[in-house]
Amino acid sequence: MKRHAHVCRKELVTGGLLNRLKSVFGSGEPASLPEGMRIYAIGDVHGRDDLLARLLDQIEADAANAPVKRNILIFLGDYVDRGLQSKAVLERLCGDLIPGFERVFLKGNHEQAMLQFLQDAAFGKTWKYYGGLETLHSYGVTELTRTDDPAAFERARERFAAALPGTHFRFLTSLALSAEFGGYFFAHAGVRPGVPLDRQIEEDLLWIREGFLDSDRAFGKTIVHGHTPGEEVVIRSNRIGVDTGAYMTGVLTALVLEGTSRRFVQTRDVDVSLAATG
């Protein structure tokens, strides 16, 4: 009897250790989605409506080739700034997009900045220099092109508030901070390691880089994010970065998830291609 109790105690200790190791390093099993669901997660658009329009056409054609019960579009945030077509991007996102597709729109740090300027004209001095000027121009607001005069920021804020359609404002104020489907967690920037996914704070979900990008820790689910641009999609054991710097590289990417498979649809300035990773 004592030997049996010792064996059971050893199994409990070993099992507990394995569970702790899995929580830190992951189980090694690929993340998956429920049967019949396909997700297209679109990286940072940043005012490139031309690329977005072509990518949506590619996604519609891709989905038609192999119909499933649920097609879901997840936009990872940063629709505005840097590129020259922010107004057109928001107008498109407020429309019907692809018939029959579910839609999830996440908030990015650039949407947060846009809303902050509407509340505080002085914030425009910061926003102007990381993409806000291009967004204002897309709405016909040009007061800040050649000046940092505080009075000009207030005039620009007033003109912008008047020029911004109500549909765009309601869209911006209804954006989600994160989404979860199957073994995946979607957020604009990433998550704070060591913090449960249901306790992540807005600042980290919108802004985090340091501590997240270089972490090997398992987060409970595979994190799909944008925010940090690169020339290629970044695939790690615990995260997938989908921001391919559309406004700089001319490449806008959608990650396609179905079951345990992952592949990519990309639209480029020069050519349109479909790339698969298995």
d(CA 102, CA 63): 13
Tell me how far apart the alpha carbons of residues 258 and 262 are, in angstroms, rounded to a whole number.
7
- pLDDT tens readout for residues 46-77: 999 999 999 999 999 999 999 999 999 999 99
* For the chain, the helix, strand and coil percentages under 3-state DSSP, each to the nearest 5: 40, 20, 40
CA end-to-end span of the chain: 51
Strands 70-75 and 102-105: parallel
Question: Quick one: pLDDT band at residue 41, thresholds 50, 70, 90?
Answer: very high
pLDDT at position 20 is 45
Q: What angle do CA 37, 39, 45 make, to 5 degrees?
A: 165
Given pLDDT bands bounded at 50, 70 and 90, which one contains residue 28?
Answer: low
Span 72-86, pLDDT tens digits = 999 999 999 999 999
For 51, what's the count of Cα atoms within 13 Å in the CB-facing half-sphere?
31
Average pLDDT on 129-139 reads 96
Computed over every residue of the chain, the mean pLDDT equals: 90
Q: Is 23's pLDDT higher than 70?
A: no
Structural contact between residues 222 and 185, judged by C-beta atoms closer than 8 angstroms: yes
Residue 66: partners with Cβ closer than 8 Å, 6 or more residues away: none
Q: For residue 186, what are the β-bridge partners?
A: 179, 224
Which one, of 257, 233, 241, lies nearest residue 183 by Cα? 257
**Contact residues for 136 (Cβ-Cβ < 8 A; gap 6+):** 128, 142, 143, 144, 156, 160
Q: What is the pLDDT of residues 201-221, one digit of tens each?
A: 999 999 999 999 999 999 999
CATH fold, domain 37-276, is Purple Acid Phosphatase; chain A, domain 2 (3.60.21)
Return the residue matching tokens 């998956």.
32
Per-residue model confidence (pLDDT) at position 26? 52
| 144-187 tens-digit pLDDT | 988 899 999 999 999 999 999 999 999 999 999 999 999 999 99
Helix (H, G, I), strand (E, B) or coil at 112: helix
Domain ranges of the chain: 37-276
Confidence category of residue 270, pLDDT binned at 50, 70, 90: low
Rounded mean pLDDT, 114-126: 97
